[in-house]
Amino acid sequence: MKKALQNIYSYIDSRFKLSSLILFAKKKKVPEHRYSFWYYFGGICLFLFVIQVLTGILLLLYYTPSVDSAHESIQYIMSQVKFGWLMRSVHSWSANILIAAIFIHMFSSFFLKAYRSPRELTWITGFFLLLIFLLFGFSGYLLPWNELSFFATRVATDLAGTLPLIGSQIKSFILGGTEVSGATISRFFWLHIAILPLLTIIVLGIHVLLVQILGMSTPIGLGKKKVSEVPFFPNFILKDSLGWMLILALIGVLCVFFPWEVGQKADPFAPTPLGIKPEWYFTFMFTTLKIIPAHIFTLEGEILAIFGFMIGGFFWMLVPLLDRNAAKERKSPVFSTIGWIVFLYIVVMTALTYLLPGL
Amino acid sequence: MILAIFISHHALFAQRNSCIECHQELEDELLAPVETFQLDIHQQFGLSCVDCHGGNASEEDMDLAKDESFKGIPKRSQIPDFCASCHSDSSYMRHYNPSLRVDQLAIYWTSEHGQLFKKKDTRVAVCTDCHGTHGIQAATHPKSWTFPWNIPQTCSRCHSDKEYMKGYKIPTNQWEEYKESVHAHALFEKKDLSAPVCNDCHGNHGASPPEVTSIAYVCHQCHPSAGELFSQSPHKKAYDEMGISECEACHGNHKILPPSDEMLGTGERAVCIQCHEPDSEPYQIASRIKEKLDEFIEKIRHAENLLERADRQGVEVSEPKFRLTEANTALIFVRNLTHSFSLVEIEEKIEEGEKIVVEVTEAGENALREARFRKTGLIIATLFIFLLAIALFLKIKQIDRKTST
């Protein structure tokens, strides 16, 4: 038996050069210090993405992307398909936890200045991954075709339509027409299951490859001291797996006690229900748009806010190039302060959405 | 030339109204007509003071304005004819509102009010008591005294005034009773303008107390199915013979409360026991109907309860919930069928509904089983994960120790 396994291994190894990969993994070291905890969120994101892919494929077996049957197929998955409720709930819950994990991973990398040279591209690809996963969330939210998702999509695309000059073109490109309709669900579906996964594989591939090539960054203050290192395999990977298991247990509890709702089927002719809001990770932008004055000087408040977010996002992406102190291994309190302001802004605005819904 | 046309246009159309000019300078009741007339429907149709009161409004001098055509304030005894001088004239009314009836006065004379008025009783309602004087609005205007949700107050101004109604020997509590009724709830709470108000049963211009038989016809307009079932029931003949009004006997008149199942059967609040003796066959049938209905309701509630519990535990039960609405529809049918007092028909309908309830109950029990299965599965899976996590943790510790040495 042992000999047979060895034969199989040597057959594969001679063709795929596995031993060199194993050697790389064995040689690879990961710095260990008091901030090491934050490293594990990258692995958690990857683990949750794998869950997304697996459960997404299973959901595809029953889901039908059309106005007439999208909601019905979700209802069928939730009530008739064996373990369908579990697959959908795991997909939805892990999607939300994944977004939260990405935010944690992003802010921890920001505050530990992990973006500094030579890891600028790791940060930039990470930023693109955030955008991709936000798009995953946005497109996936509409697919059940329920009241909340329908009107939230309508509100969001109406906002895109307010942009000067190109607003209406962008809106009709997203929707496939002037209204959220069958064309929209079709577009969102293909975006969700084909275009975005393809983009993710490319960008995530580069991101993970960069992490492997460049290794994990050591925080600025600790760089000068002797930081101990542990082997990536098996020490780090086992600790990573421990985190994955805890996350898996959490998802299981959430799915059993709070299975993801199906909601009421969307009625395009019904008036927009009161208190409609997007998914929680968009609410900081949503609340900003709600509270911003209608006009600031001669400019329209909403448009100004949208441009503000676009410029802010662009600035955030270019942080590794702008933070010259961090690049020279010096502390950069200005960027740390900016990071805290952005973090608090997102937290406060998100909390306000739920604490003061009538804002 | 354009200027000349402009000036002549103004000279022709900007006619003065000395009535308004003078009354504007006055106070209280002499000023009131000017203020309220601004919103009056007659004003909106282009009529002015002189069209009702006569006189010459273009004259500045009061004596000249009050010429031989001046009618002044009509006496109360003149009001019906005063209004009818236009409103009963079809050729005149056609210019303003061709769809408006012109037989109000003729109908009024047939009414209780009109009859008494003819007998020189000027305390009874005349046109202005219900429509107002200078602030008259179309009946379709929500602020009109004759708009559905204002009619009960309009009538009650006289009919709830004990002092005023003294001598007519009719009750004065109609408004108080109506306020508690299901119809008042529909009208005032739900803003359902189709809910009946005073004039729907009593008539408007021809207002009179409805006859015993006609009450049912009024009710049947909105409740035709219940009316038809009652008409085919043995009660119809008996009621007719005894001169009892159909619907009113059980449901009341002004204070028609929301019907409840307690009205059926032989309980304290049952209406059947008003007429039927305890040992009689109808008494037994009434008791059996109530029993069957209660059983059916109990089964529906049980199924509902199962689905709610399953829903709270996160199991998708929207399909059986929807199916249960069909059982509730059957319950509505059964409640309506009680107007037929036919135990056989009621039992048949209940049987139909019960088949659905059995299905739903089964679905509810399955859903609860599913909820239990999920929890058990979670416990086993979580236990397995934690055991694996503990094993992994120990392995990590072991590797860490090995690495440090």
pLDDT of residue B15 exceeding 70, the answer is no
Q: Which of B84, B72, B75 is nearest to B30 (CA)?
A: B72
Q: State ipTM.
A: 0.84
pLDDT band at B213 (very low <50, low <70, confident <90, very high): low
**Helices (H), ranges, B88-202:** 90-93, 104-110, 112-118, 127-131, 151-159, 162-165, 174-179, 182-184, 198-202
Best B374, B398, B404 member to test A by mutation, with max A CBs in 10 Å, is B374
Percent of chain B with pLDDT over 70: 96
User: Are B314 and A258 in contact (CB < 8 Å)?
Assistant: yes
Determine the average pLDDT of the residues in A197-202. 97
Thinking of the domain A34-278, which architecture would CATH place it in?
Up-down Bundle (1.20)
Judge contact between B88 and B100, C-beta under 8 A: no
| Chain B residues in contact with A78 (beta carbon < 8 A) | 316
| Chain A residues in contact with B385 (beta carbon < 8 A) | 245, 248-249, 252
Judge contact between A48 and A98, C-beta under 8 A: yes
| Closest residue in chain B to residue A242, using alpha carbons only | B389
A113, A226, A227, B3 from A31: Cα distances, Å: 15, 10, 6, 95
- Tens digit of pLDDT for each residue in B116-133? 999 999 999 999 999 999
User: Which among A245, A259, A262 has CB closest to B385?
Assistant: A245
B382 in contact with A, Cβ within 8 Å? yes
Supply the Cα-derived Rg of chain A in whole angstroms.
23
User: Are B385 and A249 in contact (CB < 8 Å)?
Assistant: yes
pLDDT band at B1 (very low <50, low <70, confident <90, very high): very low
**Domain ranges (residues) in chain A:** 34-278
| B405 CA: distance to closest CA in chain A (Å) | 12
Judge contact between B333 and B349, C-beta under 8 A: yes
H or E stretch including B22? helix B18-23
Determine the average pLDDT of the residues in A105-124. 95
Supply the Cα-derived Rg of chain B in whole angstroms.
35
User: Are B316 and A242 in contact (CB < 8 Å)?
Assistant: no
| Closest residue in chain A to residue B314, using alpha carbons only | A259
- Tens digit of pLDDT for each residue in A5-21? 999 999 999 998 888 88
**Of the ranges A1-10, A207-216, B67-76, B202-211, which one carries the lowest mean pLDDT score?**
B202-211
List the structure tokens of B321.
């919930």
User: Are A75 and B318 in contact (CB < 8 Å)?
Assistant: yes
| Chain B residues in contact with A262 (beta carbon < 8 A) | 316, 318
Size of the A and B interface in Cβ pairs below 8 Å: 60
User: Which among B375, B392, B399 has CB closest to A256?
Assistant: B375
β-strands A29-32, A299-300 pairing: unpaired
Distance linking the first and last C-alpha atoms of chain B: 115
User: Which among B377, B393, B403 has CB closest to A242?
Assistant: B393
**What is the pLDDT at residue B404?**
74
pLDDT band at B212 (very low <50, low <70, confident <90, very high): low
**What is the pLDDT at residue A22?**
83
pLDDT of residue B103 exceeding 60, the answer is yes
Percent of chain B with pLDDT over 90: 64
HSE-CB for B125 with a 13 A CA cutoff = 22
